[in-house]
Structure 1
Amino acid sequence: MSWCILKNNTDSDKGGNSVRISYQYRLKPTKAQSAFIDNTLDMLRCQYNYQLGQRFRWYEQNRCPIDRCSLYVCYLPELSEKPNRFSQQASLTQLKKDRPWYKEIHSQVLQEVPKRVEIAFDKWLAGDSNGKKSGRPRFKAIGQYKTFTYPQFKQHHFSGNKITLSKIGEVKVIVHRQIPEGFEIKTVSITKKSNGYYVTLSLDDKTAPTIKPDFNPDNIVGIDVGLIDFYVASDNTKIVAPKFLRKAERKLKSLQRKVSRKKKGSNRRKKDITKLGKQHKKVADTRKDFHFKTANNLLKTYDVVAVEKLNIKGMTKTWLSKSVNDAGWGQFITILTNKAENAGLKVIAVNPNGTSQECSNCGHKVKKPLSQRMHNCPVCRISLCRDLNASINIKNRGAHGLKAQEMSSLKSP
């Protein structure tokens, strides 16, 4: 079972640190409860598709602000008010009158659907920080809506190995770790995965310390992530890239072939799809467990970890995309950062430009192709591994950036 830190919010006025983490547990519902959860997910899926369709209809009819024929539409539609989260939530009252079976779903769970629709739709319209739009939100097919959330939860409804969920009842939970003292349950999410049902508890603790009492800014390490070695540290330690996907490719290929040979809609195809999903989940879980353990080992030794601020999204569009995705650098850095903040430690991201070309001993630029794995400086005559040279540069840049942050914090009132 996996758990992950979600976010870490610092309250500077109180000098405290609000820590948000999530714990995920396996659920053991009865057959009736499983059927109810599946039915709830399908009804929420239908409502999601309907409300997303409302947004698309509004967009097509109102995309041109001019009151005459345009290149987009060949008729003059009646301009309507843009659907938003609150107007769509208000329509749920009429929905329950027209379709009484929606009364079986908890009201707050149903109100989360317009919120998800708004996030997906607005993200598509606004685009990223550079204004580049992402893909158009898709309507969800049967089985593609997998999670619903209770935005409010009473603490006493989770006791021992049982959790009480509104409209579902008391469900057995496999509690593999206890909730830490001081943490309060904020939200509860139910997720259907290939191997069963899971509950995710979002926990909040407002009493966590801002920084570790014996924090030492000089106890710093730089790490250079790669595809041959998962990372090479500035202390000359390294971890070989595990390549979980590459090792499971043969089995995944065999399972995928079995799925493609079965008739669409048949029970045998559904069974093979479940097996394929379980294998993909096993690869993802193994990778995530490796990331957590690696991050934990780094933070046990060092108070500050310097990493490169990589454009991972851009790297996944190259011929190395499968290897980059298999390494999961983005997930690892996120886990490392969140675990460091939770422990009162620090992860600092530095500019990656020239870390491999610059000599860590004298600063001379030594240009070399990616295939050249050794750094040989013609000025100071130093010879060392290319990745080790980069990790030392990352450490030096991290130390410089940390001092700059400390100076700016001292100057600020």
Structure 2
Amino acid sequence: MNGLKQEKIKETLNATRKRRKRQIPRVYQLKLQNLSKKDRKKLDRLFLEAKWLYNYIIADIENRLTKDSWKLKQVEIKTPEGFEKRDINTLSSQMRQGIIERIKHSLKSLKKAKEKGIKAGKLSFKSEIRSIPLKQYGITYKISGDRNRIKIQGIKKKFRVLGLHQLIEDCEIANGLLVKKPSGYYLYVTCYLQKEKALEEIKKKQTRQPIGIDLGIKHQITLSNGEKISWYVEETKRLKKLQKTLSRKQKGSKNYFKTKLKIQKEWEYIQNKRKDTLNKAISHLKKFFLIAIQNDSIKGWHEGYFGKQVQNTGIGGITARLKRLATLIPVFFVDRYEPTTQVCSFCGHRQKIPLSERTYKCPLCGKEIDRDVNSAKNILKIAVEKLKGEGKLLKTLPVDCGEVTPVEWAIAHGEAGSLPL
């Protein structure tokens, strides 16, 4: 019987893998609404038991990380008075399996880092766990769209959620993640959509024009067509005031933790504003048929003189988002060492130009152009020339100084961050 069961599991896994090749993942955020004090206590207990289990296994990995670790129903925790035993009642078996798999994944990552020569320590204890994996839809959690309710394994009550309208009818719901934030509790639902439908939606809004992108500090995004996009979301006055208030509170007191929670909520508000701005910028870039961008070292900018500007704009997220977008539309990454700023986009003359000069003046052809626009044009030109040489364009783009014309691409999509096949 066990052999037949394993064969069925393998067959279903293989069928799922084949199906996933024709799909793309999307994560939707649902917020739990109208929570009473009793509901919050139950959810807090769930996250507390997850912390107990995690820290218990981390304390003695060699002996406690076994095949049957998920069966633990009682753990020993350290308190100011000594060690005490705690029962795990709310955390379901599949949730425990998810936490143990997370520990194994972290250990593998540490091992790989050490093999590469990176200094890596060991897994440390957590004072708080803010996410619990929900492995299987229909078992660890269920959604009833007619009443806008969700059911979480281990809790009898169904919770009302906000945001179910985001889910598309034909999507395939997979695993989820229960997240605890300062503003409340959220359920992150992973859904798989058909690639063809997702591409059709993008193509409806898409223009047949390629674009080059230059990232910067003053203007976060400069496009090869001369368009500039800038934003700056700095820390609020309220946050600074709360940080001053926290410094005067006695550490460990009730007022200390209340103020700390207010600071966390304010940080969440600032991060949400930055994410929203970044989402709007990426949705604008989706309109272009081909995107070319230089793979700049944003981390180097952050560690240098422009740390505050990089942090307050979240510019580093643009490259990461475009790498994910490359599974749907062609995105080309130009090498970071290409001298895109020094070369004239009209005649190809190269000269050194200081950072203070914001206009590129070519002594050879006499053309004057904005420094960032010149760089964006060069990025697009390099991408087109390389793709043309590799036979990935059916109709090539002109690489002169004039306006670029539409380009026909071979229909294929490579892995994120790589060239389209």
User: TM class, shorter-chain normalised?
Assistant: 0.7 to 0.9
Partner of 1:331: 317
Structure 1 401/261 Cα, relative in aligned 2: closer, same or farther at 3 Å?
farther
Question: After the TM superposition, which residues 13-28 of structure 1 pair with which residues of structure 2 at under 5 Å, given as runs?
Answer: 17-28=22-33
In terms of mean alpha carbon deviation, does 205-214 or 361-370 score higher? 205-214
- Percentage identity across aligned positions? 25
Partner of 2:69: 91
Partner of 1:223: 213
Q: Which SS does the other structure have where 1:198 is aligned?
A: strand
Partner of 1:204: 192
Partner of 1:174: 162
Deviation, structure 1 residue 406: 1.7
Deviation, structure 1 residue 264: 1.4
Given that 1:19 and 1:204 are in contact with CA atoms closer than 8 Å, whether structure 2 keeps it comes out as: yes
Deviation, structure 1 residue 208: 3.3
1:364 maps to amino acid: H
Tell me the C-alpha RMSD between the 2 structures: 3.2
Counterpart check, 1:312 vs 2:318: no
Separation in 1, partners of 2:198, 2:184: 38
Partner of 1:244: 233
Counterpart check, 1:162 vs 2:162: no
Separation in 2, partners of 1:226, 1:395: 16
1:30 maps to amino acid: S
Q: Which SS does the other structure have where 1:236 is aligned?
A: coil
Counterpart check, 1:394 vs 2:379: yes
Deviation, structure 1 residue 206: 4.1
- Stretches of structure 2 that go unaligned for 5 or more consecutive residues are 1-15, 77-84, 395-409, 412-419
Partner of 1:124: 110
Question: After the TM superposition, which residues 235-384 of structure 1 pair with which residues of structure 2 at under 5 Å, given as runs?
Answer: 235-240=225-230, 242-245=231-234, 248-300=235-287, 302-339=288-325, 341=327, 344-353=328-337, 354-384=339-369
Separation in 2, partners of 1:31, 1:402: 59
2:52 maps to amino acid: C
1:397 maps to amino acid: I
2:131 maps to amino acid: T
- Structure with larger RCO (C-alpha < 8 A, sep 6+): 1
Separation in 1, partners of 2:103, 2:296: 30
Separation in 1, partners of 2:75, 2:353: 70
1:299 maps to amino acid: K
Partner of 1:32: 38
Structure 1 405/309 Cα, relative in aligned 2: closer, same or farther at 3 Å?
farther
Counterpart check, 1:109 vs 2:115: no
Counterpart check, 1:195 vs 2:200: no
Given that 2:249 and 2:255 are in contact with CA atoms closer than 8 Å, whether structure 1 keeps it comes out as: yes
1:400 maps to amino acid: E
Separation in 2, partners of 1:207, 1:387: 35
The C-alpha deviation readout for 1:169-203, integer Å capped at 9, x for no partner, is 31110126331122111112111111111111011
Separation in 1, partners of 2:106, 2:391: 35
Separation in 1, partners of 2:210, 2:292: 7
Separation in 2, partners of 1:181, 1:199: 18
Structure 1 14/165 Cα, relative in aligned 2: closer, same or farther at 3 Å?
closer
Counterpart check, 1:150 vs 2:128: no
2:233 maps to amino acid: F
Separation in 1, partners of 2:336, 2:153: 49
Given that 1:104 and 1:167 are in contact with CA atoms closer than 8 Å, whether structure 2 keeps it comes out as: yes
Using structure 1 for the length normalisation, give the TM-score. Answer: 0.79
Given that 2:75 and 2:86 are in contact with CA atoms closer than 8 Å, whether structure 1 keeps it comes out as: yes
Q: Which SS does the other structure have where 1:108 is aligned?
A: helix
Given that 1:256 and 1:276 are in contact with CA atoms closer than 8 Å, whether structure 2 keeps it comes out as: yes
